[in-house]
Chains A and B, each alone.
Chain A
Amino acid sequence: MADRLKGKNAVVTGAGSGIGKAVALALAAEGANVVACDLGGSTDGKGASAEPANETAEECKKLGVQAVPAFGDVSDFKAAEGMIQACVDNFGRIDILCNVAGIDRARMIWNMSEEEWDQVIAVHLKGTFNMSKHACVKMRQQRYGRIVNTISEAWVGTVGHVNYGAAKGGIASLTYAIAWEMGRYGVTCNAICPRAATRMTMGPEVLEGYKKRVESGLWSQERYEEVTHVATPDYLAVIPAFLCSDEAAHINGCIFGAAGAFFSYWAPAHESVIFGRDWDKYGPWTWEEVAKCVPTLLKGYVNPAPPEEEKKK
């Protein structure tokens, strides 16, 4: 056991399996005490079980740290408060929060039900807000904290689950905003964009879906190989652990790609190619002006999904 996080106390959501479990164990391996939060449901958010959180807590203890399980629903504001409080009650304070819990309910937008939208947004986006809000109150007072959120490459556009993508886009912006608000108080907030083999990314049904995308031409064979040839989450778990350490005190508001095979930095969206003018003098933009400007604004742009001819039935 290393001791770079010795004496620190962490709350990890989604800690019962997959990436969350690997993160919980990585924090424990560096000496942090852990509240392992997991509702124990399936990847589509159904069901509940105490077993996954209990097991992770037991495995953490074997690494020589204190650990307790928690079973609250991250999308429930009060339950989130309870899990943050559990860290303070059991270990004395809260230093680290890793928001990893997530579900997926994939559907094309024209078929997506209101419930499928609501539930995915609630678990990811509201869940991340809920945990962060309660942690920030305490972290601001103690002038120390580390928050690591989980987003996804779906953040920059995805086919088949816009609910998941939108939630992740929301978390990316939430990460930037928390970093801006909390940085001055010694609290950092960063996010990882992980790629790992878990039940959510490599379960049998998911693999079936990937194959369909290749068959329908949405994905190339290379894309399929790239997505399915990935390491387990323990390969990348030290990346969030590093972001939770004192060594990362000046890393704030950053999004990192994290996988066994790569480690990368995502630059935020930025504005480019600006046409400026004096609005007082020129009045409203005219249609002709706009039509002239747009091709320059879009220099190098490729339509991600150009219109196709209707297939004969």
Chain B
Amino acid sequence: MADRLKGRNAVVTGGGRGIGKAVALALAEEGANVVVCDIGGAVDGSGVDKTPADEVVEECKKLGVKAIAQCGDVSKFADAEAAVKACVDNFGRIDIVCNIAGIDRPKMIWNMSEEEWDQVVAVHLKGTFNFIRNAAPLMREQRYGRIINTVSEAFTGGPSHLNYAAAKGGIATLTYGAARELGRYGVTCNAICPRAWTRMTADDKVIEGIKKRIAAGLMPADQLDRMMNELADPSYFAAFVAYLASDEAANVNGQIFFVSGTELGHWTQPVVENKVTRDWKKEGPWRFDELVKLVPEKLLVGYVNPAPPQPEEKK
């Protein structure tokens, strides 16, 4: 056991399995005490099971740290409050929050139900807010804290689960915002954008879905092969999260990192790439004819339509 996080106390959501479990163990490995939060449900959010959280608690303890299980629902404000409080009550204070809990209920927009939208946004986006909101006053007061959220490449586009994508886009911005608000108090907020072999990314149903999308031309033909080659177990990059949670990363704030067994990367923020300015008092409102010229010539230089119109298939 190393001791770079010795004396630190962490809350890890989704800590029962997959990426959350790997992160909980990586923090424990470095000496942090851990509150393992996991409702123990299925990938689609159904069901409850205390076993996964309990098992990870036992594994953490074997590494020589204190650990307790919490089986609340991250999308419930009061459950998040209870998990943060459990960390303070059991270990004395809260230094680290890792928001990893997530579910997926993919559907194209024209088929997506209100419930599918609500549930995915609630678990990811509201869940992340709930934990930050409850930890922030304590971290601000003690002038120390590390928050690490989880986003996904889906936040810059892609078909078939825009509930998930929108939630992740919201978390990206929440990360930027919380970093700016809390940074001056010694609290950092960053996010990882992971690619790993978990039950959410690589069970039989997912692989079947990818095959279908390749067949429909929605994904490139080598998508599945690439995925198989690239997907390592989440334990391969869990040290990255532990690093972000450490004192060494005190000046890393508001950033999103791509992490996998194969690659480490940095996601740069959206930027204004091309801009036309003018004196509005002199020129008055923009005119349609101006735009028709400006857009292709000045703004969308090099742009490629991600999904151009296709002819209707004969039935």
Task: A130 to B181: give the CA distance in the assembly, Å.
Answer: 30
Q: Contact residue range for chain A? A: 35 or more
- Report the minimum CB–CB distance from B103 to chain A (whole Å): 16
Residues of A close to B125: CB separation below 8 A:
121, 166, 170
For residue B242, CB closer than 8 A to chain A, the reply is: yes
For residue B2, CB closer than 8 A to chain A, the reply is: yes
- The answer to whether A303 touches B183 (Cβ under 8 A) is yes
Residues of B close to A143: CB separation below 8 A:
309, 312
Task: A242 to B285: give the CA distance in the assembly, Å.
Answer: 13
- The answer to whether B285 touches A173 (Cβ under 8 A) is no
- The answer to whether B173 touches A238 (Cβ under 8 A) is no
Residues of A close to B108: CB separation below 8 A:
181
- The answer to whether A269 touches B295 (Cβ under 8 A) is no
Residues of A close to B271: CB separation below 8 A:
266-267
Residues of B close to A210: CB separation below 8 A:
none
- The answer to whether A242 touches B288 (Cβ under 8 A) is yes
Residues of A close to B291: CB separation below 8 A:
238-239, 242, 263
Residues of A close to B167: CB separation below 8 A:
170
Task: A40 to B258: give the CA distance in the assembly, Å.
Answer: 43
Task: A15 to B133: give the CA distance in the assembly, Å.
Answer: 33
Q: Pick the contact of B185: A121, A166, A236, A307 (CB < 8 A).
A: A307
- The answer to whether B307 touches A184 (Cβ under 8 A) is yes
Task: A9 to B250: give the CA distance in the assembly, Å.
Answer: 53
Q: Pick the contact of A284: B77, B143, B236 (CB < 8 A).
A: B236
Stretch in A42-50, A94-102, A133-141, A200-208 touching the partner: A133-141
Stretch in B36-44, B85-93, B203-211, B260-268 touching the partner: B260-268
Task: A42 to B258: give the CA distance in the assembly, Å.
Answer: 41
Given contacts A287-B243, A297-B265, contact A253 B306 (CB under 8 A): yes
Closest to A169 in B: B173
Stretch in A56-64, A66-74, A272-280 touching the partner: A272-280
- Report the minimum CB–CB distance from B274 to chain A (whole Å): 5
Closest to A80 in B: B114
- The answer to whether A159 touches B261 (Cβ under 8 A) is no
* Contact bitstring A94-125, B, C-beta under 8 A = 1, else 0: 00000000000000111010100110010001
For residue B255, CB closer than 8 A to chain A, the reply is: yes
Given contacts A137-B110, A180-B307, contact A264 B285 (CB under 8 A): no
Q: Pick the contact of A179: B121, B266, B288, B306 (CB < 8 A).
A: B306
- Report the minimum CB–CB distance from B174 to chain A (whole Å): 4
- The answer to whether B243 touches A176 (Cβ under 8 A) is no
- Report the minimum CB–CB distance from A290 to chain B (whole Å): 5
- Report the minimum CB–CB distance from B2 to chain A (whole Å): 7
- The answer to whether A263 touches B275 (Cβ under 8 A) is yes
- The answer to whether A110 touches B184 (Cβ under 8 A) is no
For residue B48, CB closer than 8 A to chain A, the reply is: no
Given contacts A77-B114, A178-B109, A290-B243, contact A305 B295 (CB under 8 A): no
A-B contact count (CB 8 A): 375
Residues of A close to B268: CB separation below 8 A:
269-272
For residue A1, CB closer than 8 A to chain B, the reply is: no
For residue A222, CB closer than 8 A to chain B, the reply is: no
Residues of A close to B292: CB separation below 8 A:
242, 247
* Contact bitstring B134-168, A, C-beta under 8 A = 1, else 0: 00110010010000000000111111111101111
Task: A158 to B305: give the CA distance in the assembly, Å.
Answer: 29
Task: A112 to B177: give the CA distance in the assembly, Å.
Answer: 13
- The answer to whether A257 touches B272 (Cβ under 8 A) is yes
For residue B170, CB closer than 8 A to chain A, the reply is: yes
Given contacts A179-B157, A238-B291, A285-B237, contact A264 B170 (CB under 8 A): no
- Report the minimum CB–CB distance from A184 to chain B (whole Å): 4
- Report the minimum CB–CB distance from A197 to chain B (whole Å): 11
- The answer to whether A298 touches B110 (Cβ under 8 A) is no
Task: A263 to B30: give the CA distance in the assembly, Å.
Answer: 49
Task: A271 to B263: give the CA distance in the assembly, Å.
Answer: 11
- The answer to whether B179 touches A284 (Cβ under 8 A) is no
Residues of A close to B242: CB separation below 8 A:
287
Residues of B close to A264: CB separation below 8 A:
272-276, 299
In the A-B complex, list the 8 residue pairs whose CB atoms are closest, starting with the nearest. A183-B307, A305-B183, A173-B169, A169-B173, A157-B176, A260-B280, A279-B261, A170-B170
List the interface of chain B (C-beta within 8 A of A): 2, 4, 30, 77, 108-110, 112, 114, 117-118, 121, 125-126, 129-130, 132-133, 136-137, 140, 143, 154-163, 165-174, 176-186, 232, 235-240, 242-243, 248-258, 260-281, 284-288, 291-292, 294-295, 299-300, 303, 305-310, 312
What are 12 pairs between A and B in contact, CB < 8 Å? Answer: A77-B114, A167-B170, A170-B167, A172-B270, A173-B154, A173-B162, A182-B109, A253-B307, A262-B276, A266-B271, A274-B258, A297-B264
List the interface of chain A (C-beta within 8 A of B): 2, 4, 30, 77, 108-110, 112, 114, 117-118, 121, 125-126, 129-130, 132-133, 136-137, 140, 143, 154-163, 165-174, 176-186, 231, 234-239, 241-242, 245, 247-257, 259-279, 283-287, 289-291, 293-294, 297-298, 301, 303-308, 310
* 15 additional A-B residue pairs with CB within 8 Å, beyond A179-B307, A294-B243, A305-B180: A109-B136, A161-B177, A173-B169, A174-B166, A176-B158, A177-B158, A242-B292, A247-B292, A252-B305, A264-B273, A264-B276, A264-B299, A272-B268, A285-B236, A307-B143
